[in-house]
Structure 1
Amino acid sequence: MSLVTLAIPFFLLAVLVELAFDRWKGWGLYRLNDAIGSLGAGVLSRLSGLVRAGLLLVIYIPLHEMLQPWYQLLGINWSLDNPWHLFLAVVAYDFCYYWKHRFGHEINIFWADHLVHHQSEDYNLTTALRQPCGGLPIGWIFYMPLLLVGLPAEMLVTAGAIDLIYQFWVHTQKFPKVRWMEWVLVTPSNHRVHHAQNKVYVDRNYGGVFIIWDRLFGTYQEELEHEPCIYGVRKPLNSFDPLAANLQHYKRMALDAWHTRSWWDKLTLWFRRTGYRPADAEAAMPLPSSDLGNFRRFDPQIDRGRRLYALVQHLVYSAATLALLWHAESMAYTELLAAVLMVAAGLVVNGRILDGHPHSRYWELLRLGALLLAAPLAGGTVGPIVAGYVLASLGSWWWLAFANKEDTVPSVSD
């Protein structure tokens, strides 16, 4: 089991602690719908990792083995047991991550994947867990230079996990600016800048662990006291559906390619700078940016019962995902794929419930009906547990969505 998977319970505990302080102090950092939207995207990301193969190690390991004579000639011998070696591995990995992250903001096809992490219009520890499903498998290219220093695959994976785990804690608004840290490390202050859509902050501070890369390559921006961060993206998602989150920019590019008459644009817009749109496609489908002078977060109002239902369902999906992560190696691929699809469908419908989509009442019935039919296939003790969960959910959902007159809650002011 990976270090990131082992860290998940600690991530969730930290979220609960920050949430408790948020409610106690009245900070207003958390909204239930946005938090579930971010956590749902993170859960879908972990699920997708169970059923798709990453290309990085598939390509990296054979190349590393092929270069072994060269490494032996140069006396290169990395060891996980040497803390200095591990530190240097993290530095080298973070350097490559900087460029991957920077291209993730500056090129359309890379932004389509990385965009998911930036869609949240809140900024708290759940934002750190908002991760994409992987998109097109092209990110591995940026880590190939690590072959030049002979970094073994196991150290690459460990350094990558450390880099990702470190980034969790910087997604908070309540850790103050610490002057000496801002010069060397990625901190909550300079990472708040990275998530802001203010003009002065856009496309800045790409480092994962070390901010020195941004200072070296001219992409550093300090958090300014007179310029509060406005979080989110210029073209808002306006949905808490994690599948829609992952498809947002791909769909937009595909529509632009369809509408433009230029074959050159059809072929190249995917690899042009982020935000590029052919003039005729933009005229056919104008997409205005957020009005930052009068910015309001996406916050559809649904009744308290449905919000509680969505929260309980999300907890069920999270528990199911942790169980799948734990038992994945002992499951047949077809069984694993079926389970992943069932949980993923739940995440999508849950997002639409939080959106207040009028058809979500029927989609949830359809999901529960399909799951009830599939329950006997689970076998053992899992089948009855799934059937019991479905029946309890069906009763609750029928009362909330069909039998009960919904009372809307007052609008939450931003």
Structure 2
Amino acid sequence: MKVDYIALSIPVFFILIGIELGYDFYKKLKYYRFNDSISNLSQGIGSQITGLFMKTALFFGYKYIFENWRLFDLPDTIWTWIILFIGVDFFYYWFHRMSHQINALWAAHIVHHQSEEYNLTVALRQSWFQSWFSWVFYLPLALIGFDPLMFVTLSAFNTLYQFWIHTRTIKSLGFLEHILNTPSHHRVHHGTNPKYIDKNHAGSLIIWDKMFGTFQKEEEEVYYGITTPLASWNPVWANVHYWAELWNTAKKSDGLSDKIKVFIKPPGWFPTKLGGFKPAPEIDTLNYKKFDSSYSRNIILYVLVQFIIALVAGSALLFLYSKLEMIPIICAATFTILTLLTCGALLENKSWLKHFEFARLILSLFALYLFRDIAIFNTLVISVLIIQISSLIWFYYLQNSLFHVQKTPSV
């Protein structure tokens, strides 16, 4: 039986985020911002939702090679598990490193690096499309003969390990810094400081970076994010904006060769016509500002409620999708993504939101009516119906204050 350990860990993730948030509030560290955290968590929910439509196909891709082309029949022993753990971590390193060195792969992976903060919510900020290609890097393990369920289990735990290293509250782990990927090492990986870029690609073991020359110790203060800030809370735009940049660069490039190179060269590469390679700029510490927005308490409350609705809907879909037909799955996934889009648009005070939100709420009521007879939803329909009608009324009275909010920078 294939168990989704990451989905099962979601409650633990939120408990740990709550603990770190409480510590942050108590110590007045200001590691969290409401808009940034909502954006990070929205990416995590969206990643799990879009993954539902690919994970089975990807699992069977690995399984097909294992069943038809494997070279060895490996025993189910502790040594096989240990060797596979090392193998998973090794190939993760190369997948991760290539995701920073090939533009087409970076276009997906960039999502994880967009946050200008560094806390446990950043760990959940995952690309919606990265898993569509990352599995290819692990196929040598299937060819060797490592069982698919063993691979899925250890791959999940490799991902789970990386959750806790997205924190600034842990400074150093002493001698473990020489072996494991730690919060200190991973803070470097998320830095936009030129000396930190493309360093520390490790999953669980930092030894790979030390072996292959990509290790960098944490020294001066880390400035987080990407070299050209996203400057948006829109979860959909976050996943496609770099593709749009690459496409525009390719259109401006002369010749087929340069157009192809735009997608396979490292980030920062441009044809000679467009100025050639552009290295990461040094951090202007005196004028450094983070993208931020300000809004009323009522809007914050509305965003929080809608986000919780999306979280509940997405979590329910993750645990119930195997019992549902495809059409209800698509409708539930669409509802969740559109609700997350609403949260991002509210945080940016987008003018198109007024009509979009009314349409979203009315369509969600219509969808509830259509699926009222699905037994698995019966206990949820009434409560969700009440919440959506309440949201419709709430938004009607809230809209008058939506378009008078000014964006302000935050240091």
TM over 0.5: yes
Distance 1:288 1:185 in 2: 28
Counterpart of 2:318 in 1: which secondary structure? helix
Deviation for aligned residue 1:282: 6.5
Summarize the Cα distance change of 1:214–1:384 in structure 2 as closer, same or farther, 3 Å threshold. same
Q: Which amino acid aligns with 2:171?
A: P
2:299: which partner in 1?
306
Mapping 1:269-348, distance limit 5 Å: 269-280=262-273, 292-293=284-285, 294-348=287-341
Q: Which amino acid aligns with 1:307?
A: I
- Greater shift in the superposed pair: 118-127 or 267-276: 267-276
Deviation for aligned residue 1:378: 2.1
1:395: which partner in 2?
393
Summarize the Cα distance change of 1:299–1:410 in structure 2 as closer, same or farther, 3 Å threshold. closer
Distance 2:252 2:140 in 1: 38
Question: Identity, % of aligned pairs?
Answer: 33
Summarize the Cα distance change of 1:109–1:136 in structure 2 as closer, same or farther, 3 Å threshold. farther
**Contact 1:51–1:337, Cα closer than 8 Å, also in 2:** no
**Contact 2:170–2:183, Cα closer than 8 Å, also in 1:** yes
Distance 1:267 1:306 in 2: 44
1:204: which partner in 2?
199
User: Which residue among 40, 51, 73 is the counterpart of 1:38?
Assistant: 40
Distance 1:248 1:345 in 2: 18
Distance 1:122 1:136 in 2: 24
Q: Which amino acid aligns with 1:46?
A: Q
Counterpart of 2:351 in 1: which secondary structure? coil
User: Which residue among 343, 348, 363 is the counterpart of 1:350?
Assistant: 343
1:185: which partner in 2?
180
Deviations 1:84-119 (A, max 9, x none): 432322111000000000000011011011100000
**Contact 2:172–2:184, Cα closer than 8 Å, also in 1:** yes
**Contact 1:353–1:360, Cα closer than 8 Å, also in 2:** yes
Deviation for aligned residue 1:153: 0.6
Distance 1:150 1:260 in 2: 44
Q: Which amino acid aligns with 2:72?
A: Y
User: Which residue among 245, 251, 261 is the counterpart of 1:252?
Assistant: 245
- Is 1:4 aligned to 2:6, yes or no? yes
Deviation for aligned residue 1:141: 2.2
- Is 1:129 aligned to 2:124, yes or no? yes
Deviations 1:305-343 (A, max 9, x none): 111211111111011111111110000011101110111
Summarize the Cα distance change of 1:159–1:240 in structure 2 as closer, same or farther, 3 Å threshold. same
Counterpart of 1:51 in 2: which secondary structure? coil
- Is there any run of 5+ residues in structure 2 with no aligned partner, and where? none
- Greater shift in the superposed pair: 286-295 or 123-132: 286-295
Distance 2:352 2:281 in 1: 28
User: Which residue among 67, 84, 88 is the counterpart of 1:89?
Assistant: 84
Counterpart of 2:132 in 1: which secondary structure? coil
1:222: which partner in 2?
217
TM-score (norm 2): 0.92
Counterpart of 1:238 in 2: which secondary structure? coil
- Is 1:159 aligned to 2:154, yes or no? yes
- Is 1:112 aligned to 2:103, yes or no? no
Summarize the Cα distance change of 1:86–1:159 in structure 2 as closer, same or farther, 3 Å threshold. same
Q: Which amino acid aligns with 2:91?
A: C
- Greater shift in the superposed pair: 351-360 or 118-127: 351-360
Deviations 1:170-213 (A, max 9, x none): 00001021231111000000100000100111100000000000
Counterpart of 2:202 in 1: which secondary structure? coil
Counterpart of 2:52 in 1: which secondary structure? helix
1:237: which partner in 2?
230
2:31: which partner in 1?
29
Counterpart of 1:138 in 2: which secondary structure? helix
Deviations 1:114-170 (A, max 9, x none): 100000000000000000112583322211221353211111101101100000000
TM-score (norm 1): 0.91
**Contact 1:64–1:152, Cα closer than 8 Å, also in 2:** yes
Distance 2:307 2:93 in 1: 33
- Is there any run of 5+ residues in structure 1 with no aligned partner, and where? none
Q: Which amino acid aligns with 2:237?
A: A
